[in-house]
């Protein structure tokens, strides 16, 4: 196991520093300690001398603002996890922070529940040593990064590295105009890039004169890529089932604890609804019965509408969000914290299914 690293909080409010230093020291057990800094210069000095695993940054700072600090830290210390904790309710700041490579963006908690959620998230970030995702945005898929850039009406070039493979996406005024990886170009390259579940990314200066090869909207591109992605997963699962004489193995649920926001899961026979395995819940029967009936109803609806196989069902409740997906001859129902958006639920589920399929 890796040595424990420290947490660094950067804020010019001494009361905030004292409060969160105390809370994080008490609740984040994966940390070797919590340091504080009231200026960007002081924070950068501590990064030079201390082993910092997680840095929590306010944006509204004197002299060197939070975005400037984030930009420097991401370049010089790429393995340090970065979290924004701010009072600024501004989507442009959020978009710019994610474009620079932060892991999470939080508004300063106003209730005990929000504080608890924040602390749980920081604990999970510190514990996740082998994180699947793009460096700097573990809770964001590449599709989310692209949508953030488009929302900000960005003209930029996204340089994306996946292992030894490199790719580039050209954006002009919030539209994707070209993509390239290896010998692939245009929409074909875009779909290939969107299939990657981990790597690093860097936002480079844009080039409005770059030749346009993609004329589909970003939502159309993401929809086409999602469909191709789902079909590939189902093919992998199906081929694995055929190659195993004893039949397909059920998914291993023990690894779900490594995904932020995942609370529970149930695996059941798709035809009978009989529960075969569960994780994170004492009595799975009520969830299992509900999931089986839901999938049965949706499958029946799909047959009547002649729309093909069900790939997943996403549901939002007051206490949890759920995602149900077929995996071979089984249905898997995964429960998520209610704070997650349905887009996040969908993307985390895709990452989980990809791991199982491989």
**Of 134-138, 196-200, 295-299, which range is least confident?**
134-138
Residues 9 and 125 in one domain: yes
Q: Residue 152's closest CA among 133, 126, 175, 130?
A: 175
> Do 148 and 109 lie in a common domain?
no
Q: What is the pLDDT of residue 73?
A: 92
239 is a domain residue? no
pLDDT at 246 (0 to 100): 38
- Asked whether the whole model's pTM tops 0.85, one would answer no
Residue 179 scores a pLDDT above 50: yes
Burial profile 309-321: b = 16 or more Cβ within 10 angstroms, e = fewer = ebebbebeeeebb
> Residue 3 burial (CB < 10 Å; 0-12/13-18/19+)?
exposed
Strand ranges across the sheet with 313-316: 275-279, 262-269, 330-337, 320-327, 313-316
The pLDDT, as a whole number, for residue 138 is: 43
Boundaries of domain holding 210: 142-224
Q: Is residue 135 included in any domain, yes or no?
A: no
pLDDT band at 139 (very low <50, low <70, confident <90, very high): very low
206-250 pLDDT, tens digit per residue, is: 888 999 999 988 877 877 766 666 666 556 555 554 443 334 455
Q: Is residue 177 part of a domain?
A: yes
Residues 86 and 197 in one domain: no
Measured CA to CA, the distance from residue 287 to residue 296 in angstroms comes to 14
Residue 43 lies in a domain: yes
Q: Is position 37 within any domain?
A: yes
Q: Does residue 4 have a pLDDT over 90?
A: no
Q: Report the run of H or E that residue 119 belongs to, with start and end.
A: helix 112-127
Residues 50 and 123 in one domain: yes
Q: Is residue 102 part of a domain?
A: yes
Q: What pLDDT score was predicted for residue 232?
A: 61
Tokens (6 digits) for 113: 């529940």
Domain identity same for 74 and 47: yes
From 129, 164, 196, the end of a domain falls on 129
Q: What is the CATH number of the domain that holds 346?
A: 3.30.450.30
State the Cα torsion 42-45-49-51 to the nearest 10°.
70
| Domain match, 91 and 155 both | no
Q: How many domains does the chain have?
A: 3
Tokens 């089984």 -> residue:
330
Range of lowest pLDDT (8-12, 201-205, 326-330, 335-339): 201-205
One domain, residues 34 and 104: yes
* One domain, residues 297 and 220: no
Helices (H), 128-217: 142-151, 186-194
Nearby residues of 4 by Cβ (< 8 Å), 6 or more positions away: 30, 31, 32, 53
pLDDT the model gives residue 18: 95
Looking at the structure, do residues 23 and 113 belong to the same domain, yes or no? yes
Verify that 35 and 103 share a domain, yes or no.
Answer: yes
Contact call for residues 40 and 61 (beta carbons, < 8 A): yes
- In a shared domain, residues 195 and 81: no
Query: Tell me, what's the pLDDT at 258?
Result: 67
Beta bridge partners of 314: 323
User: Is 244 inside a domain boundary?
Assistant: no
Looking at the domain assignment, is residue 311 inside a domain? Answer: yes
**Residue written as tokens 């370049």?**
75
On whether both 20 and 115 belong to a single domain, the answer is: yes
Give per-residue pLDDT as tens, 16-55: 999 999 999 998 887 889 999 999 999 999 999 999 999 9
Q: 156-162 and 199-205 as β-strands: parallel, antiparallel, unpaired?
A: antiparallel
Last residue of a domain, one of 224, 259, 278: 224
Among the three residues 129, 155, 187, which one is the final residue of a domain in this structure?
Answer: 129
Residue range 326-352: average pLDDT? 83
CA distances to 238, 241, 249, 304, 352 from 273, in Å: 20, 19, 17, 21, 21
Contacts of residue 278, defined as CB under 8 A and 6 or more positions apart, other chains included, come to 253, 264, 265, 266, 267, 284, 288
CB atoms within 10 A of CB 339: 14
> Could you count the other beta carbons within 10 Å of the beta carbon of residue 168?
17
Element of type H or E holding 87 = none
Average pLDDT over all residues of the chain: 81
């Amino acid at each position: 196991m890796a040595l424990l690293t420290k947490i660094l909080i950067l804020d010019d409010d001494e009361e905030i520093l004292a409060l969160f230093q105390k809370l994080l020291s008490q609740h984040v057990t994966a940390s070797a300690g919590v340091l504080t800094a009231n200026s960007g210069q002081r924070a950068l000095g501590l990064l030079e001398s201390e082993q910092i695993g997680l840095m929590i940054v306010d944006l509204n700072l004197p002299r060197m603002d939070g975005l400037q600090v984030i930009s420097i830290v991401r370049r010089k210390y790429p393995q340090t996890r970065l979290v924004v904790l701010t009072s600024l309710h501004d989507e442009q700041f959020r978009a710019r922070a994610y474009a620079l490579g932060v892991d999470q963006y939080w508004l300063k908690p106003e209730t005990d529940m929000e504080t608890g959620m924040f602390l749980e998230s920081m604990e999970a970030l510190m514990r996740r040593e082998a994180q699947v995702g793009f460096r700097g945005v573990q809770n964001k898929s590449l599709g989310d990064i692209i949508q953030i850039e488009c929302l900000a009406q960005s003209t930029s070039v996204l340089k994306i590295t996946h292992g030894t493979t490199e790719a580039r996406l050209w954006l002009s005024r919030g539209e994707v105009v070209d993509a390239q990886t290896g010998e692939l170009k245009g929409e074909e390259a875009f779909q290939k890039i969107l299939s990657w579940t981990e790597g690093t990314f860097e936002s480079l200066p844009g080039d409005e004169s770059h030749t346009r090869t993609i004329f589909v909207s970003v939502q159309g591109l993401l929809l086409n890529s999602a469909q191709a992605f789902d079909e590939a997963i189902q093919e992998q699962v199906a081929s694995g089932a055929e190659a195993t004489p004893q039949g397909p193995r059920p998914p291993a649920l023990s690894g779900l604890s490594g995904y932020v926001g995942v609370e529970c899961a149930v695996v059941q026979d798709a035809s009978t609804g009989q529960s075969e395995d569960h994780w994170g819940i004492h009595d799975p029967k009520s969830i299992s019965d509900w999931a089986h009936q839901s999938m049965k109803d949706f499958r029946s609806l799909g047959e009547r509408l002649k729309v093909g196989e069900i790939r997943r069902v996403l549901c939002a409740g007051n206490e949890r969000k759920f995602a149900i997906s077929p995996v071979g001859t089984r249905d898997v129902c995964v429960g998520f914290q209610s704070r997650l958006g349905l887009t996040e639920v969908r993307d985390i589920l895709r990452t989980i299914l990809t791991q199982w399929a491989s």
